Structure 1
C-alpha cells in the first residue's frame, strides 16, 4: 500500500508508516518544490526543505491555461531549469535594499544575499509575509513558505527590518547600489454609488479577521479572493451570495476553482455570474440581472474586485538610484507565482539593466 496526496510534513508521513497504515509514502508535487527532500529527511535537515504549498500553480495551472509555459513550481523557480541554472557569486558585492517583505521581496533578498551582496530588507508590518499572511490566517499550512524563507534569509546574512516605514528620502539616505521595490498592491474599489458606505468592507480585512460581517453577506467579485471570502464566511454560518460581471471563478486555476465551487455548493453559497453591480445601499447590493434591476439583500457587502499596484515609491526613486527593479504586485497585480519568480530573477541579476524584462525567464 502506497500513501500519497498532500502529506504535508515528514512527521506525518512517518506516522502513517509507524501506524501501519501504508507500506510506502509516495511524493509528487513536493519533489518539484525541493527535489532534495528525501535526502534532507534522511539527514535530519527538515528545516532546510523548501515546502510545497499545494497550490498547483506552476506544476499544473499554467500548463493548462497558457501555451508555452514549462513545467515548474510556484515556490521553486529552479524547477525545470536545474541543468541550466547555477548560483553565481557576485563579482563585486553591492549594497542592495529591498522594500517590501512579501514573497517576492523575500525571494529577491534571499537570492541576492546568497550571491554575496550586502542585503537589507525592509517591511512596514511587524512580520514578513505581506499579503500572504492574510491567506495564512485562515489556511495556516501555507505559512510554511514564509517560515522557510525567513530561516534562509537569516542563514544567508540578510538584514531584516520589520515595523519600518520607508519613503524615498529614507532610501536615498541609505545610498544603495541597487533597490528592489516589492511593495505589493491595495484592493481596488469599483466606482459605484454607495461604495464608501458603512456596510461595505474589503475582502482582505474580512479574511484577516480585522473586520466582521453581518449574518447576510454579498461578495462583490468572483475571482480567487472573492470565492475564498465567500467560502470563509459561509463556513461561519453566514448566508452568502457572490456576484461577478463574468463567470464565477473565470480567472482561477482550474483545480482550485473546482475545489472552491464544490465548497460553495456544499455551504449553500448563491452564485450570480454575468451580472452588473449598480448600487450599494443599507439594504444590500442592486445588480442588473437579465435586463432587470434586482436587490440582493445583505447586511454587509464584501468587495473583492482586484487590486491596484502600490508603485509610488518606485516612481519616486527612478533616476535617483543607480539600479532599481519593480517586482510582484507592485509591478502588476497577479499571483504569488509571479512575485516569487520575479524576485528570484532580480536577485540573480543584480547588477543588471534597470527594470529588466522577466518574460523570457518565466517562459523558460
Structure 2
C-alpha cells in the first residue's frame, strides 16, 4: 500500500517507523500504521484520491488526514513552506506556523526497502522529532520504541559519516582493458580493474572490524563510474554506501576468487600478454598468499542507488594478507 500511496500524484514523504526502515533498508520492527508528510495545498486532492481507492476517512482537518483500508491506517501530517526562507512548517492546528526541524524534506535521498523506493523524511530530523516530542507535547510520554529507533538512526548515521584512520591508504591502480586493445579489437568489452591498497593497523582486528573500517574509509566512497572518490560520497559502485555492511561480504577460497576473475577476464577470449602481466601483478598474485578473501555478495539490484546499474558486471573482492600487513579492495567491472 505504500507504493500505491506514493504513486497517487501528490508529493508525500514517509515519516516515523516506516521512514526509518526505508532509510535503513530493512524492516526493524512491526508497525501499527503508516505515517506521512504531505503538502497542505494537496489535502483535498489527496483525500479524494484515497477515497476513490477504497480508503475510509477516519478524521480530517487542516492539520492531519487519517484514513484506513483493510485494517491498515495511514496518517498524513500537512505541512507548508515559509515564503521567506522555504522552511517547512506545521500547516494547521494549534501548532500552525511552527517550524519542523531543519532539512526535514529537502535534499534527502529516497529510502529503499526490497524493490520499493519511497521519499522519506530526513533521519536527522526524525531523531530531533523523537527526542523533542515529549517536550513539545508534555502529555505524550517518551516511548521505548522511540528511544530504540533513535539509537538505530544515530548508529547508522555515525557509520555513514565515519572517517576512520584504522586503514592507511597506500595507493591505487587502474588497469583499463581498452588500453591494451589495437585497431578495431572490441574484445576489451569496456572492462577495467581497480585496486586500492591499504596498510593494516598495528593492533590486530578481526575481519569484520577491517571490513567496517574499509566501508568507513573515504576511499570506499567511489561510484566507479567516472566520479572518483568523493569525500562525502553516498555511493559505492552501483549501491548506496549506507546499505553495505560487513555482513554483505562472504568469505571465499582463493581458488574460487581466481576462477571468478579468470572467467570475467577471459570471457571474450585470452587477453593480450601485457594485460595478462598487469592482471597477475594487481590481482591474481595477491590471492594465493591472502589470509582471507571476502566477496561482496550481500547486495543486489534492490540496493542500487538512483542511477545504479550502469555496469554490466560488478565484482568486488576484499583481499586481506595479514602476513604482509596489507588489505586490497579489488573491483573488476565494466561500463
Sort the TM-score into its range (normalised by shorter chain).
under 0.3
TM-score (norm 2): 0.27
**Structure of higher RCO (CA pairs closer than 8 Å, 6+ residues apart):** 1
Larger Cα Rg: Structure 1 or Structure 2?
2
TM-score (norm 1): 0.26
Q: Which has the higher strand share?
A: 2
